[in-house]
């Protein structure tokens, strides 16, 4: 059961990343974040009401609020990076967020094992290769895309660490995710308002993307569902196994980009993306 739910997490996260990056190419990233997360709020609100999760309210929810403030920044940076592409490079680099919980452990006195140390070295090498020198015949990677991806990775890792502290039960997790998403929408909505006041468009020239609403809903719901399947996987088996299998989601994004967008990567980029993914697996399994 652990392997099944963890692999489902990878599938959902990978498809959500692909969908978010694709939508951002037509709609401002902030709008994608706010609309997709608003759908998630509505669904999670219904789940919280149906399960009576309000009874789990307590001081731990402040961790969910903090995750909700960090999350929109990470998603915005990541969707912008995916829009710049290529997704086959950006997505594996984004999975490096797993290094954040490792760093938190170091601060608390833990020491990385041999696999974690190897993972750090391999991941750094992957970053250098994936965003390295430009050669002819391949999809270029802008330095801005790499920097945005690393910012997003840090944010995703911080959210993972914060949500882990926000609940101790399954119903508590529902409430924590609901609070996180409400904060996401509030923070993202404020940022969108400020952006519009400064002259940036909130929508594409074609207006509100009604035709993209199902895709926006899918992105928000897939992200929430991935959190749920990961929580179930971690509760029914070794967390290490769940984390390793769940960290394979960049493969899904890369395959979707290859199949739908026909992205072609240079050999050095493919090697860098592969090393970054390998480093993520080593960090998670160390």
Write the burial class of residue 135 (CB in 10 Å: 0-12 exposed, 13-18 middle, 19+ buried): exposed
pLDDT over 70 (residue 130): no
**Angstrom distance (rounded) from CA 46 to CA 208:** 26
pLDDT value of position 77: 86
pLDDT value of position 135: 44
pLDDT value of position 159: 80
What is the arithmetic mean of pLDDT over 93-117?
71
Q: Which of 7-16, 63-72, 225-234, 240-249 has the lowest mean pLDDT?
A: 240-249
Higher pLDDT, 172 or 228: 172
The region, left, alpha or beta by phi > 0 then psi within -120 to 50, assigned to residue 125 is alpha
What is the arithmetic mean of pLDDT over 89-118?
71
What is the arithmetic mean of pLDDT over 200-228?
79
What is the arithmetic mean of pLDDT over 245-269?
75
Q: Using alpha carbons, list the distances in angstroms from residue 146 to 85, 87, 114, 170.
A: 9, 11, 27, 35
Model pTM score: 0.74
Write the burial class of residue 111 (CB in 10 Å: 0-12 exposed, 13-18 middle, 19+ buried): exposed
pLDDT over 70 (residue 160): yes
Count of C-beta atoms within a 10 Å radius of residue 1: 10
**Angstrom distance (rounded) from CA 192 to CA 2:** 39
pLDDT value of position 133: 52
Q: Which of 13-22, 145-154, 268-277 has the lowest mean pLDDT?
A: 268-277
pLDDT value of position 81: 84
Beta strands in 90-238 (DSSP E): none
pLDDT over 70 (residue 127): no
pLDDT value of position 66: 93
Mean of the per-residue pLDDT values for the chain?
78
What is the arithmetic mean of pLDDT over 103-128?
71
pLDDT value of position 283: 64
pLDDT value of position 136: 45
């Amino acid at each position: 059961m652990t392997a099944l739910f963890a692999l489902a997490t990878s599938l959902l996260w990978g498809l959500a990343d692909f969908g978010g990056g694709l939508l951002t190419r037509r709609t401002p990233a902030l709008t994608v974040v706010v609309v997709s997360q608003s759908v998630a709020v509505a669904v999670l609100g219904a789940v919280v009401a149906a399960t009576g999760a309000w009874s789990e309210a307590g001081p731990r929810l402040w961790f969910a609020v903090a995750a909700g403030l960090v999350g929109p920044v990470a998603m915005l940076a990541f969707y912008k990076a995916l829009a710049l592409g290529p997704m086959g490079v950006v997505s594996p680099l984004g999975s490096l967020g797993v290094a954040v919980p490792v760093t938190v452990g170091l601060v608390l006195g833990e020491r990385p094992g041999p696999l974690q140390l190897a993972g750090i070295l391999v991941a750094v090498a992957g970053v250098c290769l994936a965003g390295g020198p430009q050669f002819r015949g391949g999809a270029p990677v802008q330095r801005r895309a790499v920097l945005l991806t690393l910012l997003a990775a840090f944010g995703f890792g911080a959210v993972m660490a914060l949500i882990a502290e926000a609940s101790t039960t399954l119903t508590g997790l529902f409430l924590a995710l609901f609070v996180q998403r409400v904060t996401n929408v509030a923070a993202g909505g404020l940022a969108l308002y400020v952006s519009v006041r400064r002259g940036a468009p909130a929508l594409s020239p074609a207006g509100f993307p009604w035709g993209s609403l199902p895709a926006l809903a899918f992105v928000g719901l897939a992200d929430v569902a991935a959190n749920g399947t990961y929580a179930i996987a971690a509760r029914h088996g070794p967390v290490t196994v769940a984390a390793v299998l769940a960290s394979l989601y960049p493969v899904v994004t890369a395959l979707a980009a290859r199949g739908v967008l026909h992205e072609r990567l240079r050999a050095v980029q493919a090697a860098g993306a592969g090393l970054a993914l390998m480093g993520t697996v080593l960090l998670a399994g160390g």
